[in-house]
Structure 1
Amino acid sequence: MDSQQRQIRVLVVEDGDEYITNLTTFVAEGIEYRQAKSGGRACEMIAADEPDVVFLDMRFDRTPIEELLGDMVQLTGRFNGDIRRARRFQQDNQGLFILRALRDAGCRRPAILSYDFGAEDKRFRALSARDPGLYYCPDYADAKTIRETILRAVGAG
């Protein structure tokens, strides 16, 4: 990296440590990472210091339920009163709830969802039509693919 270039700042939002560990180990050159383990914490961190890009896990099944974002009353109604199905949906799609909260809080930086939309192309097209700063990287992506996605998202590659 040229000494005149500043590092790309990435906020990693996940409920574990897998992404932050892999990213700092294998996709580190020229990139600085910070981590938030919940949507609420991510909103706080972005309000204090907005990163260049947000890297979001999609599924949050280790987060305490009181820290999950999303309206459970509305979700339960959507699932005909089945609270268990509503909670599972909330956990499985928490990355989208967090993305919405970040956008509602004024964050306009690009976001990368760690999720394989390969078999759900129509779904990703619909999401990115509403949010042109949205990218994705499959969970199983190698370091090169992740780095290329980060660079493309920030317009550096």
Structure 2
Amino acid sequence: MSRVCTVAAVSLLAAIGFPASLVAQEMISDTTARKQPLTTWGDQLEEFEYRYSDDDEELGGWDADAFYGSDDLKVRFLTSGEYEIEEQAYETLENQLLGQVPISKFFDAKAGVRFDTPEGPDRTYAVLGVAGLAPKGWSPLKPGCG
């Protein structure tokens, strides 16, 4: 009798578990939009100010960042500058258009183009960088060196 109960229990578990494994396999192969990485956007205005000095110089200043993308790939636009109100001219202006991809759990690689408008001719640069936040206890120095 115990053998019959064991066979019945195994059959019942197999009947419940087998369709569940098929559903799980189907969900793994599902590539609909709900399974794709979440696309987000955002902006940040770090600095937005009006400056008035003792020399009657009036400046507007800003430092901003906007992004669009997923955790796997983001496009970022960074801008900062100062605008002299009386002369109606940029004192400094820097714009960057960057692509950002993760290279580890804590660090991202960034690459793109930077446009500067200093006094004199406008300048264009290539930008390469690594940005991130190191985990607690991580050090680039070898043990005993710091």
Q: TM-score, normalised by structure 2?
A: 0.24
Q: TM-score, normalised by structure 1?
A: 0.23
Which is helix-richer, 1 or 2? 1
